[in-house]
Structure 1
Amino acid sequence: MSRTILYARVSVADQTIAHQRTQAESAGFVIDEVVADEGVSGVSTTLAEREQGRRLFDLLRRGDVLVVRWVDRLGRSYTDVTETIRAFMARGVVVRTVINNMTFDGVTTDPVQMAVRDALIGFMAATAQAQAEATKEAQRAGISHAKGREGAYRGRKPSYSGSQLDTVCAMQSQGATVASIVKATGLSRQTIYRIADNPIEAYAALSRWNNQ
């Protein structure tokens, strides 16, 4: 009997396993089991290097569905994400994302459909790595701005959390409409437009407040 397993990864305080499960269930997924890594970076570790990530490889069987909030939960490296998804597809596992409801499987044998699928996987993996690099740069900028400056000006406190910011950037990279992003995040249109105009500064602003 096939199962639907949610893999959740959280690395910062404003992300929670429960929130990722709630998002998945709100999107219509019926979750049989949750496998989660807490306090683990997707930048410095591959899925196979994480304790629960290794367990995931042991659990999943042909016909199972692996659900993730977005591909960045699997990893923040282009190579890691693409190799992981292809490894699961080769096992007969279907990989689905909560954001934008993407589905990746190894069922098709049509070369054109395979090319489109692989190109999309590559694009999403590249976006995940680019976001990770942007976040890291923004965090460095925020820390540098605040370091050694008690009471330093930090600007207006962001009206979004780290998980909301990740969702906005992920959905924007997939061409989602502003209306759908508003529905998914609960943020205002104005906030989403500001993030879209300068995502690096959006991450930097969050870092300036989180590192005080």
Structure 2
Amino acid sequence: MQTPLYARVSTADQTLAHQRTQAEAAGFKVDQVVADEGVSGLTTALQDRPQGRRLFDMLRRGDVLVVRWVDRLGRNYADVCDTIRELMRRGVIVRTVISNLTFDGATKDPMQQAVRDALIGFMAATAQAQAEASKEAQRAGIDHARSREDAYRGRQPSFTREQFEAVQGALVH
């Protein structure tokens, strides 16, 4: 039985180390970290991410998958619900660092299954709503900045004019 931590970071201010530190501080004994960096959880399903595919390949019945929160699995309602249910069907236990929730698929009681599935759905919907609200706030901020003609210049280039011209010149030859 293995206990991997799946971590996903989509922005520069998030870190993989922080997610592992939080898991270990919560008492999880993590065997390895499987992580996708710079990947959106809203637009890219877990099974379509490079390390997400690896995760599906490596997990076996009885393994415990640790995630900081379900939003690390994804920010799309259907994808998160489908992912957790598929993992439970395979006999994988999914545990969250925040709130120490466990989704294991072990219960056969229909009422407990309904409560578990409702909780999964609520958490997945919350993850998607948060992502959409953040995107909307970002868009509103950019639109506001653009309305002040001199204030918004867009993202700063990660290269100089000379570097751009050198690459452009190399492509021509």
TM range (shorter): 0.7 to 0.9
1:109 Cα deviation (Å)? 0.4
Q: Name segments (4+ residues, structure 1) moved above 3 Å.
A: 148-152
CA distance in 2, matches of 1:40, 1:71: 15
Distance apart, 1:14 and its partner CA: 0.6
Q: What's the CA shift for 1:150?
A: 4.1
User: Partners of 1:149 and 1:31 in 2: how far apart?
Assistant: 50
Select the structure of larger CA radius of gyration: 2
C-alpha distance in 1 between matches for 2:143 and 2:118 = 37
Q: Partner residue of 1:67?
A: 66
Give, in whole Å, the separation in 2 of the partners of 1:104 and 1:49: 22
Aligned residue pairs: how many? Answer: 154
After superposition, give the CA deviation of every residue in 1:113-164 in whole Å (9 maximum; x if it has no partner): 1111011001101111111110110110111122364458xxxxxxxxxxxx
Q: Distance in 1 between matches of 2:69 and 2:150?
A: 37
1:152-167 aligned at under 5 Å gives the runs none
Q: Which runs of 5+ in 1 are unaligned?
A: 153-210
Amino acid corresponding to residue 88 of structure 2 in structure 1: M
Q: 1:77-156, aligned counterparts within 5 Å?
A: 77-147=76-146, 149-151=149-151
Aligned to 2:34: 35
Alpha-carbon distance between aligned partners in 2 of 1:142 and 1:42, rounded to the nearest angstrom:
22
SS at 2:40 equivalent: coil
Residue 4 of structure 2 aligns with an amino acid whose one-letter code is I
Gaps of 5+ in 2: 157-173
Give distance in 2, aligned partners of 1:150 and 1:10.
32
Secondary structure in structure 2 of the residue aligned to 1:48? helix
Query: Does the aligned pair in 1 maintain the 2:64–2:94 contact within 8 Å?
Result: yes
Contact kept, 8 Å, 2:76 with 2:124, in 1: the verdict is yes
* AA aligned opposite 1:110: D
- In the alignment, which residue of structure 2 is the partner of 1:186? none
